[in-house]
Chain A
């Protein structure tokens, strides 16, 4: 089956920086690709080239086997990190305006219901809350019933509840068979929504796979966390302690053995946390950098 998106050796070089330096991947119909990377890794430039907004310096992007053409914009939807709209227009007017720009499109009433916009339809879009605004922008991104949607950090700045509501919407979109390309700073978001993850650094993809396979490939251990005050003054030199502000981490494949050593040293395990490795751990291991929203 022909991939929805096929990217080969994509590069974007500016005079003083190689923003994207040889990105290649295929994306199948109905999958969600999460693009992760620290600031300046080349995520946004990559997504802008995939959207057809920025011409690549070299490389190739194919949509369903064909080079990007004028019809491509009829078939894709996009939500930018900071999407600006025309002042003084209401939510409904924005939806109607964008709907009129496409030959084919969604039923606006169904979209309003799906994105839960009923209560704000006649409100000036500038007076929406962060979560309401992101839902409206997603509705605009879906206004042409695209079969490929680009979401560039769509939940940055939202509170946890609004983010979870937004994830539900994206899951609904995916369930319809729409292909999604997502960039995010949030590892939990990438883990929840992505079928495939591509971790970028210095303009290149340095790891690619499903969240589970990536974690399984790079880790066979778990992380044990204890409050720093619990560890102070104890004889634990045989354990590989990692001190982090107010806590201490121990990374080990032998959790039972570590727990036994902690008990032998007379520690209380009341506040012990044991967690599997996360995408954030993987990210830090691969890039040496923390992800920051």
Chain B
């Protein structure tokens, strides 16, 4: 790594570490949110039972006419397409029952340790007594265990987007970038240094926050910490690259703040940080798939809650890698040292 990049990284890390108030906020934001959300939703996020339905249903809504069980009130029925993943959701009690309409008599998966599942089983058998049970077992996932990966990812998103985006815009507005442009430092060296410095800080801060949450809440961790580290690093890089793209040209902190909010708020709401996207409308799921936070979260939860390995999370990792490369290329290509 060039001496110029190392110097830039060191200067940026010093700046962050000495800005005590901002640093403290980075460490406190996620734990405070975890404790708050876990307290409010300690009974679980779902107020109604949720049932996944496998079947050749096409794009049609799950009409009660398809099967009388689907007319059960206060139950959220949603289409499921992938059997293995759906069964895992029953095991983790992320859904209460899985119903397969492709065969006759119908079959269903229910977790013997789920009270809601047992109740739904009785309702199902009352409408189709011949339905065949496929029993599964598995402890439910506490909401806190499910929530923490989301909040850590959220923390990474906010710290990466705003730390990088705002800082570069501030550098440009103040004329610091213009001063750097008067030195042999090149744009790609500056961008690389910002990316690496932010990545290092993000990993250290996220690691600290994770350790704190884990000590407080005894978090579930089924997979490898190294795999989680890779997910964290790649997810952070994607967010940083996205922020570099947003801040590549503009010199107004107000505009950058608006743009970053425009990006972060839909991700916050639609990426499944607080509630599962299972059963969400197809349009929402399609929108969510465009957000890096969704893929980062999918991979992190798979590692932490299901013990997924690299092969299992290859798809979200590839999507994140492609997004990072795209954002970096566009960001570096459109970067400006000075205001217009």
Decide if A167 is an interface residue (CB 8 Å cutoff): no
Decide if A70 is an interface residue (CB 8 Å cutoff): yes
Assess the A102–B18 pair: CB atoms within 8 A. no
Residue of chain A at shortest CB distance from B337: A53
Q: Which residues of A contact B338 (CB under 8 A)?
A: 53
Assess the A89–B184 pair: CB atoms within 8 A. no
Assess the B182–A87 pair: CB atoms within 8 A. no
* Stretch in contact with the other chain, from A78-86, A112-120, A205-213: A78-86
Bound complex: CA of A85 vs CA of B170, how far in Å? 11
Assess the A100–B182 pair: CB atoms within 8 A. no
Residue of chain B at shortest CB distance from A81: B175
Q: Which residues of B contact A82 (CB under 8 A)?
A: 175
Prevailing SS type, chain B contact patch: helix
Decide if A249 is an interface residue (CB 8 Å cutoff): no
* Stretch in contact with the other chain, from B7-15, B215-223, B255-263: B7-15
Bound complex: CA of A3 vs CA of B8, how far in Å? 34
Interface residues of A in 71-112 (CB under 8 A from B): 73-74, 76, 78, 80, 82-89, 93, 96-98, 100-103
Chain A CB within 10 Å — which of B11, B19, B181 has the most?
B11
**Chain A residues with a Cβ closer than 8 Å to the other chain, count:** 25
Decide if B4 is an interface residue (CB 8 Å cutoff): yes
B18 partner, pick from A80, A85, A88, A100, beta carbons under 8 A: A88
A86 partner, pick from B15, B178, B181, beta carbons under 8 A: B15
Decide if A51 is an interface residue (CB 8 Å cutoff): yes
A100 partner, pick from B4, B174, B181, beta carbons under 8 A: B4
Decide if B179 is an interface residue (CB 8 Å cutoff): yes
Residue of chain B at shortest CB distance from A90: B14
Residue of chain A at shortest CB distance from B182: A78
Assess the B14–A88 pair: CB atoms within 8 A. yes
Instruction: Show 19 A/B contacts (Cβ-Cβ < 8 Å), sorted by A.
Output: A52-B182, A53-B178, A53-B181, A53-B337, A73-B183, A76-B182, A80-B175, A80-B178, A80-B179, A80-B182, A85-B179, A86-B11, A87-B19, A97-B8, A97-B10, A101-B180, A101-B185, A102-B183, A103-B184
